[in-house]
Chain A
Amino acid sequence: MLVLRSFWRHKELTAMLLVALVFFGLFRYGPMYGLIIAFKNFNISDGILGSPWAGLEHFRRLIADPNFYRIFRNTLIINLYYVLLVFPAPIVLAVMLNEVRHRWFQRLVQTTTYLPHFISWVIISGLFIYFLSPSAGVVNYIIQWFGGDPIFFMGEAGYFRPVLVVSMLLKETGWNSIIFFAALSAIDPQLYEAATVDGAKRWQRILHITLPSLLPTITIMFILNLGGFMSMNFEQVYNFLNPLNFETGDVFDTYVYRVGLEQFQYSYTAAIGMFRSVIGLALVLLANYAARRLSGGEQGLW
């Protein structure tokens, strides 16, 4: 009752919040409620509530489905590539930028490398496909110039993940370096001066001053990255995907889209989506717990 009276006293604020909560309820919690069709045999005419229950049937089917293992494996492997190859790149870029003494050159590199972040995956992928084309692509032109044979990058499953990694590197390295670069500008310049006076070489200063100062930021970003291990950028993967590289490139969302929306297997693909979301939630919670433990309760997502 006390709470109700408190709401009434702040009725204007309450009204504001309620309006906003309607949208969170409808478009964020609404789909969560719709997940119950993963436990039903959904058909359009009966709707979400009216469709008959199916228990765990769809989850049993999922465990026996080789396609499920394929998308699960691809998601994990691509994410592993990202952690190993894409994650360190912005750190290296930030450290390099920090060593640049000409302000205009620093700005030039930053302005250019941030730009691809703002361009859509449709265009980035379209350009990659164009530049990698075996007939007219510049990349194959260079390969041939060195005497090699042209490679059909988008037609061979083995090239899918490397293309994904390189495109992600080009699009996001600059942008992701901002947070590390900002951490670097907080370092006391006296540390560098003192080290120089003591005769420290450039690489020694990087090794003993720059990198240790970055370590807290790197740790937190790394752990938070692990929390996203089950997710994949749909727009990136979808635009590079074709039947020739399903084997190495098909992931959760692209599979759910193809089988669920195009072949109308709503309940089954809802079960697949739910599996992904639940594991993803567990990973984020775990990552946040780890981040808190490591930073002594200082940092974490919340």
Chain B
Amino acid sequence: MITKSRGEKFFDVLLYVVLACSVVMIFYPFLHVLSISFSDRGEALRAGFHFYPRSVSLEAYAQILDATSLWRAYGNTLFRMVLGTAAALTVTILAAYPLSKSYFPLKRMFLLLILFTMLFEGGIIPTYLLLKELDILNTRGVYIVLHMANAFHVLVMITFFRSIPRELEEAARIDGASELKTLYRVILPLTIPVVATIGLWNLVAHLNMFMDNLLYVTDRSKFVLQQILQEILIEDRQDSFADIALSEEPPTPESLKMASIIVSITPMLLLYPFMLRYFEKGVMVGSVKG
């Protein structure tokens, strides 16, 4: 048994203290947000630390329940999460499968064509004008179509398809299955981990994306959750909460803000355990050269 020197012990203590501090730095804001969201007027306005609400009020959540524009935005976000992810996964698989075949003609050229979109982009204004010419500006379709073609996801998918033994596919082909049927029946079931990883990347991106709404959608009924949150949190506007005036004990803007945060991060927190499992793997997959 090697006894630790005084210096080593000091190092150990320092290590654990610094890491514990970083945990607290991230954990405390959550506690604070949760506490303020359940606080009554006086408590929410009190300066200082908030670990738990000293006097509880559910008024902020009552207001949120009635905030129709927030819930409509929630609906729009769920819409883009589901449809956007399904559409992006489809395009990713359709692009990656043919390009993963060594015998596919001109595959290197096609791959370069796709990879180039990672390096160069038209930018905000040309994208705006394109959506305008396609006449889909200011529709929910914007949220879907702009994220369907993702070169990086295609790259990760190709890497994965290539790792599947050829014999499996050949067996299916000899049995007379078409390419599409082989992909659907034989190959896809094997790629569930990578489909889950890329799917979760898409889900999180769609849940948190705010830029495409700000730039290309101005119709309030089509706003996504992050856009409404931006109004509430950053622009400090409470137009989403129409009933404040009717309330006997109106909650403070702070409680409303914090309650909106809690309501909007709940789906992410529910997905988090799954995300941890697949994302950590995904980062490693992504680092494999295509």
Contact = CB atoms under 8 A, between A and B. Distances in A.
A211 to B, nearest CB: 16
Nearest to B36: A130
Interface residues of B, number: 92
Contacts of A30: 122, 126, 130
A239 B227 CA distance: 11
B284 A37 contact: no
| Residue with the highest number of chain A CB atoms closer than 10 Å, among B119, B130, B134, B178 | B119
B166 interface: no
A20 B114 CA distance: 10
B180 A12 contact: yes
Given A17-B95, A48-B133, A261 B128 contact: yes
Contacts of B146: 27
B137 to A, nearest CB: 11
11 contacts: A10-B105, A12-B178, A12-B179, A16-B179, A17-B95, A34-B126, A44-B132, A115-B272, A120-B207, A126-B233, A260-B125
A37 B22 contact: no
B149 A27 contact: yes
Nearest to B29: A127
Interface stretch (B42-50, B61-69, B243-251): B42-50
B120 A37 contact: no
Contacts of B179: 10, 12-13, 16
Given A31-B127, A34-B130, A127-B33, A13 B101 contact: yes
B105 A281 contact: no
Contact of A126 (B25, B92, B122, B261): B261
Contact of A120 (B99, B104, B122, B208): B208
Contacts of B215: 257, 261
A270 B26 contact: no
Given A37-B129, A126-B229, A10 B122 contact: no
B175 interface: no
B223 to A, nearest CB: 12
A24 B16 contact: no
Nearest to B232: A126
B208 A33 contact: no
Given A20-B95, A174-B26, A261-B124, 15 more contacts: A13-B97, A13-B179, A27-B130, A32-B120, A37-B129, A112-B27, A120-B209, A129-B233, A178-B283, A253-B124, A261-B215, A273-B122, A273-B125, A277-B121, A281-B119
- Of A12, A44, A276, chain B has the most CB atoms within 10 Å of the CB of A12
A269 B104 contact: no
A29 to B, nearest CB: 7
B117 A126 contact: no
B185 to A, nearest CB: 14
A196 interface: yes
A105 interface: yes
B257 interface: yes
A299 interface: yes
A170 B127 CA distance: 32
Most chain B CB within 10 A, of A35, A120, A253, is at A120
Contacts of A239: 230, 234
Contacts of A28: 117, 121-122, 149, 151
A22 B8 CA distance: 61
B98 interface: yes
A98 B42 CA distance: 45
A302 B11 contact: no
Contact of B126 (A10, A37, A203, A280): A37
